[in-house]
Amino acid sequence: MVELVVSDIMSKVSDHRAHVLLLNERDGLRKIIVAMGFLEAQAIAFALRGIRTDRPLTHDLFGDITSVFGIELQYILINKIIDGTFCSQLCYRQGDIERTVDSRTSDAIAIALRAGVPIYIEEELLSRMCIHDERNGAFSIPITAADEATLRVAIENAVKEENYELAHKLKEEIDSRHTTQDGMPEN
C-alpha cells in the first residue's frame, strides 16, 4: 500500500458542478485524480479547512456514531477501479476485530480527513492509474481511468483524426469492461 495526501480540489472547466480531487503519493511523484460531484467536493473542502457546521454533516455524523460504539477508523484503502470510478474500503477496528466496509472514494476521503487517518492506495492500482504532468499545467491520464462515455467520445475523435491505432486501443478498453470472468464477451 502507498500513502496518498490530498493536494488540491478543483472544479472541472467544462462543468462547474463536477469536481476533481488531486491526490499525491506522500513520498513520491505519482498522482491520481478522483472525480466527484459538488456536494462530495464541498464535504472534503470543509474537512480540509476544518470547517464545522452548527449541526453535523453526514460524514461528521458517521464519525460520531462509530466513536460512540467504540469503532475506530484505522485508514482507508483505494483498492480498485470500475468503469473509470475508484472504489474504496473503510478499514475499522473494534477491540480485536478488524473489518472493512465498501465505500465511494469521495465519502471515504471525507471521513478519513475528519478522523485524521491515512489514505492508502494499492501499489499496482497507483502504478496503473497515475497521471502524468504535461506542458502548460495539463495532465494526461491512462485510458483505464476514463469512464465509458469518455472513451466513446475519444474513439469518435480518433476516427475523425484517422488515428485508427488509438481508436482500436480505446475499443479494446471498452470491450475489456464487458467480458465475463471466463474472458468471453457479455451478451
> pLDDT, tens digit, for every residue of 91-116?
999 999 999 999 999 999 999 999 99
Length of the chain: 187
Res 2: pLDDT: 96
> pLDDT, tens digit, for every residue of 50-93?
898 899 889 999 999 999 999 999 999 999 998 788 999 999 99
- Over the chain, what is the mean pLDDT? 84
Using CA atoms, how far residue 111 sits from 34, 56, 103, 169, in Å, is 15, 13, 10, 37
Q: Is the pLDDT of residue 155 over 60?
A: yes
Compute the distance between CA of residue 170 and CA of residue 181 in angstroms, rounded to an integer.
20
Res 85: pLDDT: 87
Give the mean pLDDT of 129-153. Answer: 66
Q: Is the pLDDT of residue 44 over 90?
A: yes
Compute the distance between CA of residue 158 and CA of residue 119 in angstroms, rounded to an integer.
36
